[in-house]
Amino acid sequence: MLSLILGTAFVVLCLQASLKDVTSFTIPNWINGSLVLLFIPAAFASSIGWSGAGWHVVTALVAFILAFGLFSVGLFGGGDAKMIPAVLLWIGPSGVLDFIFGMALGGGLLAFVLLSLRKTVPADIAPAFARPALDKDAGVPYGIAITAGALFAMSASPILSDFLSQLGNFN
């Protein structure tokens, strides 16, 4: 039951980060911090053990170093650079490639949709929540792509696969 609650929190926090990123091009620190803090009980509630949890932490640290590098050269925003390692803390080493693939696919689709909408929909007639993302000079709210990668890689994560199996038991 705890895995179900924590897995739901993971998904809700990722979706909240996406929504906040679309509306303001920021991912609040409290979201990324919550993901990191909730990993602790999630690791204990799962079957990964101390060694597995350590590898999840190593994966997140490597991701933090790489994401910080991308942030420092202006390719990522600060929230994105913090969200990627927070998500990979949960995903772990077994899901890194799935996460990267899902994030790249989601980012490419997001960029295509945004470029198409920015050419066809004037930002001033769009709903208020979508106006920042439709501004022709705006960047890409990459929190959406990070969330897509997280959702894509969930089944490869030993922590989140427990959540998915419990979710499947509700049928």
Q: What is the dihedral of CA 26, 30, 31, 36, to 10 degrees?
A: 130
Q: How many CA atoms lie less than 13 Å away from 22 in the CB half-sphere?
A: 17
pLDDT tens across the length of the chain (171 residues): 788 899 999 999 999 999 999 888 999 999 999 999 999 999 998 888 888 999 999 999 999 999 999 999 998 899 999 999 999 999 999 999 999 999 999 999 999 998 888 888 877 787 887 788 887 778 889 999 999 999 999 999 999 988 888 777 765
- Find out whether 143 and 151 touch, Cβ atoms under 8 Å: no
Burial level of 29, CB count in 10 A (0-12/13-18/19+)?
A: exposed
